[in-house]
Amino acid sequence: MRALDLRNVKFSYRGSDVPALDNVSLEVEKGEFVTVLGANGSGKSTICMLANGLIPHAIQGDLEGIVRIFGLDVKEHEIAEFTTKVGMVFQEPESQLFCMSVEEEVAFGPENLAVPRDEIRERVEWALELVGMKGYNDRSPFSLSGGEKQRVAIAAALSMRPEMLVLDEPAYALDPIGRIGLYSVLKDLKEKHGMTVLLAERDAEEAAAFSDRLVLMKGGRIIESGPPRLMLRDPEDLRAIGVNPPQVAEVASLLNTRLMISRFSFLNVDEAEKAIVDEVLALKPGGRQ
Amino acid sequence: MTGFVDLYTEADTFLHRMDPRVKIAAVLLLSILAFLLSSLYYLLVLLAFIFLLTYLAKATMSRTMFALKFVLRLMVLIIVLWPLFDPSGTPVLASLGPVKITVPAIVRGLTSAVRVGCLATVWYILMFTTSQRDLVRALVKLGLRFDFGLTLAISLRFFPTFISTIDSITDAQRARGMELGRGRLFKRSKNYVSVLVPAIVSALRTADTLALALQSRAYGARSDRTFLTEIKMRGTDYAALSVVLGLLVVPLVAKYFFSVPL
Amino acid sequence: MIPSAPSSMTREKIVSIRGLKFTYEGGVEAIRDVNLDIRYGEYIAIVGGNGSGKTTLAKNMNGLLRPTGGSVAVMDKPTSEQKVAALAKIVGYAFQNPDHQLFCSSVEEEVRFGPTNLGYPDEAIRDKVEKAIEAMNLGQFRKLPPLTLRLGERRRVSIASVIAMDPQVLILDEPTTGLDAGESAELMHRLKRLNDEGKTIILITHDMKLVAEHAKRVVVMARGKVLLDTDARGAFSDLEILRQSSLEPPAVTQLAHRLSAYDIPRDIVSPEELVFHLMRAGGDIR
C-alpha cells in the first residue's frame, strides 16, 4: 500500500479558472523521502494540501482524478481519518502554533485523539527529543525563534504518530541557524526513523542532498521525477522550472563539461571536496598529493 | 512581551497554588461583598484585607501600583468630582453658587473610590496568580463549552502577536510619511485605514492558516477528548472556598437580618 | 528625481553613524557601539543572524528608532532632530512583509500614498508615481488591487510605493523572502538599475548568496556590533566571522575554503569561478 497515490489529478481552487494541478500522477512509497521542487504557483503546495486530506475537505475547489492516502480514497472518507495518519507542517511558524506553551501545543493532537494521559506525556517527550527541543515544555511561543517554532510544529505533528509527514516550505521564513536546525531534524527523521516525508521546496540547496526522490513541477504539472543524482545532473532542468540548482551540482556539471566526462555528481560539499581533491587536483603535473 | 493582558507572574504562594475555580469564585464573592458594604470604614477594612492578599501573592507594591495606574487615576477623579456634583447633606464645608461641598458627599465619594479600588485589586490578584491557561481551563471545567474555551485561549495567545503586527504596520506606514492623528478629518481617517486594513487582512490570513492547522491536528475528530493536565480541588481549596463564602455570608446576614450598619 | 550621484571619486556621506547605541524599552541592548558611514550611490548589504541588530540599525537610519546613545546623521542633520515623515524623503524603508503596507484599491493609489503624505504638488506626484511604477515593472497591474497580486508582485508594489517618495537611500529588509528564483532575479535586476541611476541601496539580509551576487560592500553584524565592514569579496575570505554572526556562507565558498591548500582563492562565490580556478590548479584527468 502506497503512502500517497495521485492519479490524473486535476484541481482548481474555488473561484479560479486556472487549474492549480493539471493531470498530475504521483506515488509516494512508505519510507520514501520525496521533495517536490517548483517555483511559486507551480502546484507544490496544492500537492501538500491533497496529501493530508485538507483538499477537498477543508479547502474548496474542483477535484478530479483519484487521490488515495494509505489506500483510502480521499473523497470517500472523513478528514479525521487522514489527519490521524498524516502530519502537516505549514510555512508560517507563527500561525500554526496556537497554544500558550510548547507542551500544550505538542499535546494538542494526541489530546484530540483521546490518547490516554500517560501516553500523551510519553509522546510529548519523545517528539520534543526528536526535534532537539527537550526541556522546552513550558516555553511560550513568543519566546521562541522562527526555527524553534517550526521544530515545535514538527513535534506537534509527530506526537500524533503519523505514518507520513508533509511539510510545505517549512524553511520559508527562517534565518540560517533556523534552516540548519530544521533540515538536520528532517535528515534525522529520514535516516534514523525511516519516516515517510513529503516536502515542498522553492529552493534545492538543502533537501535535495538527502531526498530519495525529487519531483520537478511547473505550471501545475510534474515535469520529471527521479533520484537526486539524476535530476541534478543537468542544472538546466532545474532552472527550466524556476528553481536554482544547488551550487555543488552546478560545479559538478561544469566540471563534467570542461573535462568532457560525465561521471561527476555532487550532492553536498563533502562529496564535492573528496572528488575534487582525489580526482581533479591530484593530477596536476607536479601537483600536491 | 506577552502583552498587558497577561499579568501572570510565577511564584510559589498558596494563592498561586489554589484551584483556579476557587479563585474565580473568591473574586466574584469579594466583588459582591464590595458592593454589599456601604460603610466607608468597612470598605477600608476590605481594602486592607485585599492588600494583605497581594502581599501574600508576592506582588510588589510598585508592580501593583503600575498595573493599576488607570484605576488610581479613576479613584482620584471620583474623589474630586463626587462632592462637586452631590450637594446633599450637612455639614457644608464650602459653597459657590449651586455647588456645595458637604462632608457626607466627600464620604460618599471616598466610599465609591475605595469600592473601585477593592474591585480592581482583587481582579488584579486573580490575573497575577493565575495563568491564562489555568483560567481558561477553569472556565471550561465550570461548564464553558470546550470550543469556546479554545477560542478564548487562542484569542489570548494571539493578542500580543496582533499588537506587534499593528506596531509593525504603523512603522511601515510612518516610513511612507503617514502621521497618525494629524491632518484634516478625511486624511486622518485614511491614515487609520492604512493601519486597519493591513491589520485585518493579516488577522484573516492567520485565521485561515490556523483553521487548517487545527484540522490537521485532528481537532474535532472525536467527541471525547483527553486533557493532559487536570485541575483538582484539594482540601486546602475547599477550606479557602468556605472561608470566602463565610466572608460574604456573615456580613450579608449581619446587614440584612441584624441591621448592622455595614 | 534627484540627478544621478557624482561618480565614485567624490562620494559624499549621506548617512553618518557615530558611536550608536540602542536599547529597547524592555532592556534589550540591540546595538552596542556602531560606527558607519554610507556614501551616495553605494550598494551595501548589512548582514547578520537574528538578534544581530541589523534591523534595529536600519530603523535608526530613518528615524523610526532614535539613538539611546551616540548619533545618526542623515545629510548632516541628526535624526533626533527630524520627524520620520521628513526623513522619509531621504531614506526610504521597504519592510519585509509587503502585506503590512498594502491597503489601497489599486496599485496606482498605493504608490501615490507616500508622495501624497509628503505634500508634493499634484504634477510632481504623478511624475514620481509613473517613474516608480516603471522602475518596478508594474505597468500591467496599475489598476488592480494590490492584495490580489502574487507575493513577488506585492513586494514590488511595496517597494514602488517607497521609491515614489523619491528617496536617495533605499533600505530593503529581506526583499527576497518568499520569492522563487525568477521573481528574485527580476527584483534584484530592478534594484541594480536603481543603483546604476545613482540611488543608494542598503540590503538587510541573511542570505549570503544574494549578497555575493549583488552587494558591493558588506557590513557584518553580530550581537549589536559590526564585526566586519569590507568590500563584498572580503566578506567571504573569513568564514569564521560569518559563522560568528550566525550566517551560512554559500556552498561554493565553503568548498573553496576547504580547497584553499590547493592554491584555490578563498573568496570564491560562484560555481563558474570555482571551476575556472580548479581547471587552472588541476590537470587534465581524462
Q: How many other C-beta atoms can be found within 10 angstroms of the C-beta atom of residue C82?
A: 19
CB contacts of A111 in chain B (<8 Å) are 225-228
What is the distance between the alpha carbons of residues C239 and A161, in angstroms, rounded to a whole number? 40
> Would the CB atoms of A80 and B220 count as touching at under 8 Å?
yes
> Would the CB atoms of C84 and B175 count as touching at under 8 Å?
yes
Place of cell 553618518: C16
Distance in angstroms between the alpha carbons of the first and the last residue of chain C: 58
Residue A40 lies in a domain: no
What is the distance between the alpha carbons of residues C274 and C212, in angstroms, rounded to a whole number? 14
Residue A161 lies in a domain: no
pLDDT tens profile C103-149: 999 999 999 999 999 999 999 999 999 999 999 999 999 999 999 99
Q: What is the mean pLDDT of residues A198-214?
A: 91
In this prediction, residue B2 carries a pLDDT of 41
Residues 138-177 of C with CB under 8 A from B: 147, 161-162, 165
Beta bridge partners of B95: B100
What is the distance between the alpha carbons of residues A53 and A44, in angstroms, rounded to a whole number? 15
**Domain range holding A279?**
246-289
Q: What is the mean pLDDT of residues A35-40?
A: 95
Residue A251 lies in a domain: yes
Average pLDDT, chain C: 90
Minimal Cα–Cα distance from B63 to chain C, Å? 15
What is the distance between the alpha carbons of residues A22 and A38, in angstroms, rounded to a whole number? 14
In this prediction, residue C286 carries a pLDDT of 47
Which segment of A116-120, B89-93, B249-253, C2-6 scores lowest on mean pLDDT?
C2-6
Contact criterion met (CB below 8 Å) for B261 and B39: yes
Residue A218 lies in a domain: no
CA-nearest residue to B193 within chain C is C103
ipTM (interface predicted TM): 0.90
Minimal Cα–Cα distance from A91 to chain B, Å? 9
Q: Which residues of A211-237 are buried (b: 16+ CB within 10 A; e: fewer)?
A: bbbbbbbbbbbbeebeebeebbbebeb
Nearest Cβ partner for C181 among A145, A244, A280: A244
CA-nearest residue to A121 within chain B is B228
Residue A101 lies in a domain: no
Tell me, yes or no, if C97 comes closer than 8 A to chain A by beta carbon: no
- Domain count along chain A: 1
- pLDDT for C2 beyond 80: no
Nearest Cβ partner for A39 among C182, C274, C286: C182
Residue A49 lies in a domain: no
Tell me, yes or no, if A279 comes closer than 8 A to chain C by beta carbon: yes
- pLDDT for A289 beyond 70: no
- pLDDT for A178 beyond 50: yes
Which domains does chain C show, CATH number per domain?
Answer: 11-247 (3.40.50.300), 250-286 (no CATH)
Q: How many other C-beta atoms can be found within 10 angstroms of the C-beta atom of residue B243?
A: 11
pLDDT tens profile A11-37: 999 988 899 999 999 999 999 999 999
CA-nearest residue to A281 within chain C is C282
In this prediction, residue C6 carries a pLDDT of 41
Minimal Cα–Cα distance from A170 to chain C, Å? 11
Minimal Cα–Cα distance from A242 to chain C, Å? 6
> Would the CB atoms of C88 and B171 count as touching at under 8 Å?
no
In this prediction, residue B14 carries a pLDDT of 82
In this prediction, residue C108 carries a pLDDT of 95
> Would the CB atoms of A177 and C279 count as touching at under 8 Å?
no
In this prediction, residue C283 carries a pLDDT of 58
In this prediction, residue B224 carries a pLDDT of 83
Residue A258 lies in a domain: yes
pLDDT tens profile C259-286: 988 888 999 999 999 999 988 887 555 4
Contact criterion met (CB below 8 Å) for C167 and C86: no
Average pLDDT, chain A: 92
What is the distance between the alpha carbons of residues C196 and C43, in angstroms, rounded to a whole number? 10
In this prediction, residue C9 carries a pLDDT of 42
Alpha helices (H) in chain A, listed in sequence order = 44-51, 54-57, 79-83, 102-112, 117-130, 146-158, 176-191, 228-231, 235-240, 247-259, 269-275
Q: Which residues of C18-42 are buried (b: 16+ CB within 10 A; e: fewer)?
A: eebebbeeeeeebbeebebebbbbb
Tell me, yes or no, if C26 comes closer than 8 A to chain A by beta carbon: no
Neighbouring subunits of C (3+ Cβ pairs under 8 A): A, B
> Would the CB atoms of B193 and C64 count as touching at under 8 Å?
no
- pLDDT for A285 beyond 60: no
- pLDDT for A222 beyond 90: yes
Mean pLDDT by 10 residues, chain B (262 residues): 60 85 90 87 88 85 82 90 82 78 86 91 88 84 85 88 93 91 78 92 93 92 84 84 85 81 71
pLDDT tens profile C211-247: 999 999 999 999 999 999 999 889 899 889 999 999 9
Q: What is the mean pLDDT of residues C194-207?
A: 94
Q: What is the mean pLDDT of residues A184-201?
A: 92
C5: which DSSP letter? P
> Would the CB atoms of A280 and C250 count as touching at under 8 Å?
no
With a CB cutoff of 8 Å and minimum separation 6, the contacts of B48 are: none
Contact criterion met (CB below 8 Å) for C282 and A259: no
Contact criterion met (CB below 8 Å) for B166 and C63: no
Residue A174 lies in a domain: no
Residues 154-213 of A with CB under 8 A from C: 172-173, 175-180, 202-203, 205
Nearest Cβ partner for B176 among C83, C97, C162: C162
Element (H, E) at C36: strand C29-39
Identify from A60, A88, A96, A139 which residue to disrupt to test chain B contact, counting B C-beta atoms within 10 A and taking the largest count. Answer: A96
What is the distance between the alpha carbons of residues A250 and A267, in angstroms, rounded to a whole number? 10
Residues 142-201 of B with CB under 8 A from A: 153-154, 156-158, 160-161
Residues 115-154 of C with CB under 8 A from A: 150-152
Q: Which residues of B96-133 are buried (b: 16+ CB within 10 A; e: fewer)?
A: eeeebbbeebbbbbbbbbbbbbbbbbbbbbbbbbbbbb
pLDDT tens profile A122-153: 999 999 999 999 999 989 888 899 999 999 99
